[in-house]
Structure 1
Amino acid sequence: MATPIPVVDLSRWTANHRADQELLAAQVDRSLQSTGFLLVTGHGIEPDLPGQVRAAANDFFHLSQAAKQHYDQNRRGWIGRERVTTARSEGTHTPPDLLEVWSCGVNSSARPADAQQMPRDWPEEIPTLRPLVTAYTDRMRTLADTLLEVMAAALRQPADFFTRHTTRPHWDFTINWYPAANETGTAAPGQFRVGPHTDFGLITLLKRQPGKGGLQIYDDAAGWQDAPYEPSTYTLNIGDLMARWSGDRWRSGRHRVLPPPAEAPQEELTSLVYFHACAPHTDITSLPAPLGRRPYSPVRAGDYLHDKMRTILG
């Protein structure tokens, strides 16, 4: 049975009715305390946009290995197989993840007007990929900041408690392609499409496809459970930095993506994963009790993210 993850309707926030906003903030607080995950509806994202991004990305991933190799750019652009071992971030030893990735982001170390989207080189063979990704990540950034305002209200903090640290462009976006079993072969023992982990930043917004080799989340009582899927929603989960900031009031949800299923050898999936982060120089200090439940030593956001990424990329 799928682990229950609450569905929250963001239109209750954007309609600007105070009573509805307070009810929504309370619902978000309860949900993030129990699972660290939400399903978000009422988000206003064009329904066709994710599919358009996914289709362009799939055209790229189905190019030859030689063609894709041209876009391997120092952990940006194309990241081929055998390169990512996500479970290492939590100290778990597994074989490399069974996926390929297109990775991009914004260099927020530059002045806002000079911020550069990385990587530098985009596939000439798929000219639609860059404008589609740009449109998609623009909408994800706006959606993420709105959700951070809801989360600030849930903690009874000022509306810009989080978003004052996200004004300079800083985000990461990966398109994860999970090839079919008849292409990857049988998974090795302990090998996954993405190994078990928690995300590292503030919040993650996921647009995924359902499948037998799909997303699972970890439940303290029931163990690993299939994540629920609602076609019109985005899956939100909080990451380590947000968990630390909330003093473990909110959980950094542990999750994984199952290996390609032998019973569905032609199943391939593509997930769109947007990671929303604060400015790298932001000092993350746990909220005190009674809101926070566990004080962490302060960390600088950029240092924490950098150290975590070094553990998972070969």
Structure 2
Amino acid sequence: MNPESVTMVDGYVPVIDISTRDGAFGRAALAEAIGRACRTSGFFVIVGHGVPPELIDRMRTATTAFFTLPDAEKDRAASRPGYSGFRPSGGTTAQSLDRRTPPDLCESFGVHVTGELSDAEREALGDYPATWKLANLWPEEPADFKDTWIEYMNALHALSTDLLRLCARALGLDEDHFDGKFDRHVSSLVANYYYPQVDEPLPGQLRRGAHTDFGGLTVLYQQDDTGGLQVLQGENTWRDVRAIPGSFVINIGDLMALWTGGRWVSTMHRVVNPDRADTSSRLSVPFFFQPNHDAVIEPLPSLDSVPGQQPPESVIAGEWMAMKMQKLFAPAQ
């Protein structure tokens, strides 16, 4: 990989061209660049990823068409007991970190890869309430929504699997090290629709409150022409993550940070409100690549502990993620 293949966004989040990942030399250099990003910001942007632009365009078009339907039409696909689907409120993301803020200013639609399994198969995915145990509820309109989303989700799964192998290599492990923790993964695809802000937000209210992601890797599509995503550098410096056409934003979640004993960072991020004169909407679609629900996550024995830091305790992936989700959608207090 040439040095020109890695550039920086605002000096903090690197942009990495991964088009060289089919060769051994390219993979070694990519792993080094990814490891460096995960030790610092926990975020990087990828280009040259191979996901067809035509598929991304279809996903964006179908998703935007859904969110701009009349409320009554969207409500036909509304999440209800036993089903995933549309949520007129995206929850209060900051509550996942026990921070009290007003609800986030967005709508959401989400499905899980496990949502297409049978009732019996889904019921076996943990003996506690969890979103991945819900059946997927698909909208009737647009007509191509379900097929497009499943095709897109399969493409993102393939990309995420290879990114995870590069992460393993960056940690000095065999590339297939994490495969057994993701062979029954409970990943999800979620669309966040940040509707036009006509009314003044409440104090402390954002499009998405400050939070960390819960699981392994996040692969995010964000609208090219509208900003808002910020990542935290240090204690109180927020950096914009510029939307680059044809790219995905990648970040690691809490469980990946735990696997590395804290050497890699699961970084706080948020989506800020637009200027008051800006009444445009914004779309972002994260694919959350989550481990098997019963995967035991503990610091890798091959990595030394971080000096001065208490080694994190092991957790069960599903229990951790379910606890975080319950906080996210708990009634605001």
> For residues 258-283 of structure 1, what are the alpha-carbon distances to aligned partners after superposition, in whole Å with 9 as ceiling and x for unaligned?
12431212x10111110001101100
Work out which of the residue numbers 124, 141, 160 in structure 2 matches 1:144: 160
Contact (CA 8 Å) 1:106, 1:117: kept in 2 or not?
no
Counterpart of 1:201, as a letter, is G
Q: Which moved more, 1:295-304 or 1:117-126?
A: 117-126
- What secondary structure is seen at the aligned counterpart in 2 of 1:177? strand
CA–CA separation in structure 2 for the residues paired with 1:245 and 1:256: 24
| Alignment map for 1:1-314 (pairs within 5 Å) | 2-14=10-22, 16-17=23-24, 19-74=25-80, 76-81=84-89, 84-107=91-114, 119-182=135-198, 185-210=199-224, 214-220=228-234, 223-265=237-279, 267-288=280-301, 290-293=303-306, 294=309, 295-314=311-330
CA–CA separation in structure 1 for the residues paired with 2:168 and 2:241: 26
Counterpart of 1:191, as a letter, is Q
> For residues 233-286 of structure 1, what are the alpha-carbon distances to aligned partners after superposition, in whole Å with 9 as ceiling and x for unaligned?
110000000000111111002100012431212x10111110001101100011
- How far is the alpha carbon of 1:292 from its aligned partner? 4.2
Contact (CA 8 Å) 1:108, 1:169: kept in 2 or not?
no
CA–CA separation in structure 1 for the residues paired with 2:12 and 2:242: 7
- How far is the alpha carbon of 1:68 from its aligned partner? 1.6
RMSD, aligned CA? 2.4
CA–CA separation in structure 1 for the residues paired with 2:235 and 2:92: 26
CA–CA separation in structure 2 for the residues paired with 1:192 and 1:164: 38
Counterpart of 2:39, as a letter, is Q
Contact (CA 8 Å) 2:259, 2:300: kept in 1 or not?
yes
Q: TM-score, with normalisation over the residues of structure 1? A: 0.91
- What secondary structure is seen at the aligned counterpart in 2 of 1:160? coil
CA–CA separation in structure 2 for the residues paired with 1:225 and 1:231: 19
Counterpart of 2:313, as a letter, is S
Contact (CA 8 Å) 2:116, 2:135: kept in 1 or not?
no
- How far is the alpha carbon of 1:2 from its aligned partner? 3.4
Assess, with a 3 A threshold, how the Cα gap between structure 1 residues 169 and 289 changes in structure 2: closer, same or farther: closer
Identity of aligned residues (%): 32
- How far is the alpha carbon of 1:160 from its aligned partner? 1.2
Assess, with a 3 A threshold, how the Cα gap between structure 1 residues 229 and 305 changes in structure 2: closer, same or farther: same
Assess, with a 3 A threshold, how the Cα gap between structure 1 residues 211 and 254 changes in structure 2: closer, same or farther: farther
Assess, with a 3 A threshold, how the Cα gap between structure 1 residues 93 and 117 changes in structure 2: closer, same or farther: closer
Give ranges in structure 2 of 5+ residues lacking alignment. 1-8, 123-131
- What secondary structure is seen at the aligned counterpart in 1 of 2:53? coil
CA–CA separation in structure 1 for the residues paired with 2:318 and 2:115: 10
